[in-house]
Structures are given as structure tokens and as C-alpha cells.
Structure 1
């Protein structure tokens, strides 16, 4: 589904969208708002690059960050939930990961965690291992995956 189709589907369902992004730095929101008329469905985007920003803007719990780290499904879920709680959106997607270069044995370059939250539905989380594709390619792959999750989420909303 193209970005324009995502926006059309959201508009037809009366669904406002929010994004909560870390490693993509606003690329998901930018992809959505590149399309004329997107203001009808894009409610807001949060770029929360630091742990402090995740806590202040989205309500991510410090305990979650300490226990699991910023690149975790737990944090991705709290980011998506926080984007809903701090906006008028009905659907939110979150992205947190290690775009590179670098990483560690436990959190390698290319690991990205996603959250998808919709009012009245359980929050979904997942991790995708894109691999060491290079920073730009990991970020683009993460953006595209987040957009696909939004399309999936819209399909589940009535």
C-alpha cells in the first residue's frame, strides 16, 4: 500500500494518526506529510531521540528503560501507547532501534523495535533485524516497515 493509499484509508475511516520515532528521526511523519492533504489524518509526530525525551513526551517509564533498554519491544509499546495518550490520534506507530554504525553483541546494528497502538485494541510490538545495511538503509527500511504497520493497523480498525 502506498503512503497516499494509507492516508486515503485513514481519511475514509476518520482515523487520525500519530508517530513516535527515535532512530528514524521523523522520517515516518515526513513520509506521511509529503502527501498533499495529509493534515486531514496526520495528528502529530513525536521525535524522541533521547531517553529523557521518551519519558517527558511519551510517558515511557524509567524502569522500562533501565530493565530493557531503549531498543526493546517494551519501550516501543510504551512509545506507541504514549503517542495515543498525548494526542487526539486513534492509531499510532513507534520506532526505536540501532541504525548504526555500531551496536553491540546484544543489540546489533539494524535491530529495530516497533509498536502499533490503536484505541480499543491491544498494542502490538515486534522486532525486525534488518542487519548491518548501513545507517541510511536501516532508517529507510524502518520507515517503510512502520508505514506498512500503519496500513495493517488501519485494516483492523472499523
Structure 2
């Protein structure tokens, strides 16, 4: 974890926006908490309409993010991918990241990338927004996506 350059996103005023959250079921004990933190961030930003969809694993996240991007102002993707002993990790991480980038660009809808790609369970716990975590990716990716949606809304007003 770099530990530097964090913009320390607190909240944005996003009342009136809609948010979609897509989350994997793998590592549910961490992802469930990240979903709760994303929902809390949305409420803190004034968002009242949040749609949550669960999928089996991280590979399934982009296609559901795409469906959510069609009906929401912003989307947050949450999951945990931990490196194992095979090249599966690289394929999953690449497909998720590329897929979410494609969704955001094709749909013109911000997608907060909260899929943790880590070397160990300890690193995932450090980023999951638990009481003893040093980062809160559920919260941060939600505020980032909502902030980007607000920026897009301003550009379209100009």
C-alpha cells in the first residue's frame, strides 16, 4: 500500500443522484462490510436511492456494473481478489479493471473501483474499512464515483 497521495475524500453533496453498488460474494465477511460502508457514504452524501446487486465473484462485476450504469448516475464495484499460486489472479484483476473502465467510458457513468487486488487477507482487511483498517475503500470509492458524477453533471450544464 502506497500510503501517500490519498485525497482524503470525506463527502460531496450528491442529493438527487442515484447510486448502484455491485459486490462479489467471495470474501463476503469483508465485502459485506464494504457494502455497508458504501451505503453509509452514499447517505452521508445525501443519496437516497441506492440499488445493491450481488454477484458470485469479481469476474461477474463488470457486466452487472454495466446494467447499473444504464439506470444510475454512478456505480461502485466492490470485491476482494487475493493472489494465489497460479496466474488466475492476474487474469481476474485485468478483466475486472478493464471491464470496469470500459463500462465507465461506454456508459459515460463513473464507476468507483473498490475491488481490492491484494497479496494477502491482511492487506484486504487493511483496506476494507474495518475498525482497525487504515483505509476504507467502500467509502472512498463511493465518494469518488459520486464526485465524478457531479463533475459530469456540471460539464453537461455548460
Report the TM range for the smaller structure's normalisation.
Answer: 0.5 to 0.7
Is 1:146 aligned to residue 134 of structure 2?
no
Contact 2:23 2:54 in 1 (8 A): yes
1:41 to 11, 26, 47: 47
SS of residue in 2 equivalent to 1:48: strand
Contact 2:17 2:49 in 1 (8 A): no
More RCO (CA 8 Å, sep 6+): 2
Is 1:94 aligned to residue 77 of structure 2?
yes
The two structures have a TM-score, normalised by structure 2, of 0.53
Q: CA deviation at 1:20?
A: 0.7
Is 1:105 aligned to residue 86 of structure 2?
yes
Which runs of 5 or more residues in structure 1 are unaligned? 51-69
Number of aligned residue pairs: give it.
Answer: 127
1:108, 1:44 → 2: CA distance? 30
Which runs of 5 or more residues in structure 2 are unaligned? 1-8, 130-134, 154-158
User: Residues 68-109 of structure 1, C-alpha deviation per residue, up to 9 Å, x if partnerless?
Assistant: xx434xx43312112234xx52211212332x5x63422449
1:103, 1:84 → 2: CA distance? 31
> 1:92 and 1:103, CA in 2 relative to 1: closer, same or farther beyond 3 A?
same
Counterpart in the other structure of 2:125: 136
User: Residues 13-72 of structure 1, C-alpha deviation per residue, up to 9 Å, x if partnerless?
Assistant: x3111211115534344224436955951422425242xxxxxxxxxxxxxxxxxxx434
Counterpart in the other structure of 1:16: 18
SS of residue in 1 equivalent to 2:52: strand
Is 1:71 aligned to residue 77 of structure 2?
no
The two structures have a TM-score, normalised by structure 1, of 0.53
